[in-house]
Amino acid sequence: MKKLRKAVFPVGGLGTRFLPATKAMPKEMLTVVDKPLIQYAVDEAREAGIEQMIFVTGRGKSAIEDHFDISYELETTMTDRGKSLDAISGTRFRPGEVIYVRQQEPIGLGHAIWCARHIVGDEPFAIFLPDELMAGSPGCMKQMVDAYEKVGGNIVCGYEVPESETHKYGVITPGRIDGRLVEVKALVEKPPQGTAPSNLMIPGRYILQPEVMRILEGQARGAGNEIQLTDAMSQMIGSQPFHAYAFDGRRFDCGDKAGFITANIALALDRPDIGPEVRRWMDANQ
Ligand code: G1P
């Protein structure tokens, strides 16, 4: 079994759900407490042993590249003033740790992933959708990698949501259950309300075999007239092992305003520096 070394981060999306905030700023730079969403995903990838991050980006996204670059002015000024650089210590990529590819037209998640095919090559790879914030210890991808090292093949994260929400996501038809691993019998992207095969959705974390790139090459458009990753993955079921991993942790859909605000409150309450103050305000304003 080949070690999982690479991860693809599709960050080319327009973020229309967060306008006007995302008119001139990438949605991946929205902050939860004091860290942009994209950095939560990168931290999760590093913890899982990912060595090469592939960002599939687009126009107007250069703030992401700057965020992970060296900022000489900032570092020099802070050092001159005797300030600690701890707050930005995780933001700098090592040379070669990141590669940027452009997705020139936003025609679906499947297409975004396919844009990274030459860099992924013939290796298994992870995918992180950064607007899903997965809070756990160990992190979501680390938990998935531990499972992958036992069963191999393809693993998507699985997370239970109320039935009223399944139409917004990729949804799993579950088979045999073995601890946190669930056999995947079928997948469907954004099933119309009332037709979902279960309430187990895919919250934006995947470990896939490179064959999916070949399938994406000829993938027809699906839900929303977009090239869907879910449709390509479903074609691998039966010819390769395919599991869902029931993540042990909290998930926040930060592509959604309520989910984003909830993530900010939950993670702020966890923080020893600001949690007590936020809690006091909440108690006083119930
Ligand atoms: C994408 C995927 C979907 C997944 C979701 C998670 O949908 O296509 O399968 O469940 O992300 O957030 P999107 O949010 O891009 O519509």
pLDDT digits (tens, 9 = 90+) for 119-168: 999 999 999 999 999 999 999 999 999 999 999 999 999 999 999 999 99
Q: How wide is the angle at C-alpha 252 spanned by C-alphas 10 and 243, nearest 5°?
A: 65
Distance 161 CA to ligand 1 centre (A): 13
Residue 263 pLDDT > 90, yes or no?
yes
Confirm or reject: Cβ of 38 under 6 Å from ligand 1.
no
pLDDT (0 to 100) of residue 156: 98
pLDDT (0 to 100) of residue 65: 94
Confirm or reject: Cβ of 7 under 6 Å from ligand 1.
no
Quickly state the pLDDT bin for 90 (edges 50, 70, 90): confident
Are the CB atoms for 14 and 106 separated by under 8 Å?
A: yes
Confirm or reject: Cβ of 226 under 6 Å from ligand 1.
no
Tokens 């900010």 correspond to what residue?
Answer: 264
pLDDT (0 to 100) of residue 94: 86
Domain 6-255: CATH superfamily is: Spore Coat Polysaccharide Biosynthesis Protein SpsA; Chain A (3.90.550.10)
- Give the residue extent of every domain in the chain: 6-255, 256-286
What's the mean per-residue pLDDT of the chain? Answer: 95
Provide CB contacts within 8 A for 181, sequence distance 6+. 147, 151, 155, 243, 244, 245, 246
Tokens describing residue 139: 């992190």
The preferred substitution site among 16, 17, 113, 169 for testing ligand 1, maximizing ligand atoms within 8 Å of CB, is 169
